[in-house]
A and B are shown apart, each in its own frame.
Chain A
Amino acid sequence: NAGVMQNPRHLVRRRGQEARLRCSPMKGHSHVYWYRQLPEEGLKFMVYLQKENIIDESGMPKERFSAEFPKEGPSILRIQQVVRGDSAAYFCASSPRSLSYEQYFGPGTRLTVT
């Protein structure tokens, strides 16, 4: 059973470009969470999604950031018009339909904005 997959692992974007981060949850998991980690800090919650629904987006910046988890395919975190402050590691986690509360994390995408 493959773990949570994220791609790309490293992403470099110039200021003003768009960044798309992908997350494939573990098989059988229908809950996806995105977190952001700045250097030397803990993870900060961004958004919680189930298939085709955003459950909680209280951690998402109001502008430029969006997330989706379509019926088919991976969850996407999209950052438009990136700025240097967006440079961080972005982690996706998933948990099973039964909500066992343990979240399994992917390896992360490290975004660098130049």
Chain B
Amino acid sequence: SQQGEEDPQALSIQEGENATMNCSYKTSINNLQWYRQNSGRGLVHLILIRSNEREKHSGRLRVTLDTSKKSSSLLITASRAADTASYFCATDSAELIRGKLVFGAGTILRVKS
């Protein structure tokens, strides 16, 4: 199976609730990035966390990284209907040529108003 697998595959929550998405990967990494994609659109970069970092915040986003478990989580607090999108994690593997990102299949988040 491929690097960067997200779970759950789909998540449906009410506006105002928190949403947590997880990502697991297989090889050692230089960094891990989270992207958002609205239906039929391009990707928007959300946050990058380096392999020597454990937690990072950006607005309502909180990302954690556990390199011992090869996993990351993305938490969106106080969700809004506009957060409805697909969320992808992508890893820059330390074992491959730098810059080549490996994406997971994504988590589809639906926030109901």
Say whether chain A's binding surface is mostly helix, strand, loop, or mixed.
Answer: strand
* B-side interface size class: 20 to 34
Q: Shortest Cβ distance from B9 into chain A, in angstroms?
A: 10
- The residues of B that contact A99 with a CB separation of less than 8 Å are 98-99
- The residues of A that contact B100 with a CB separation of less than 8 Å are 33, 45, 48, 56, 58-59
- The interface stretch among A12-20, A67-75, A102-110 is A102-110
Check: B103 CB closer than 8 A to any chain A CB: yes
Check: B75 CB closer than 8 A to any chain A CB: no
Q: How many residues of A contact B (CB 8 A)?
A: 26
What does the 1/0 interface line of A76-114 toward B look like (CB < 8 Å)?
A: 000000000000000101010001011111111010000
Q: Which residues of A contact B (CB under 8 A)?
A: 31, 33, 35, 41-45, 48, 55-56, 58-59, 91, 93, 95, 99, 101-108, 110
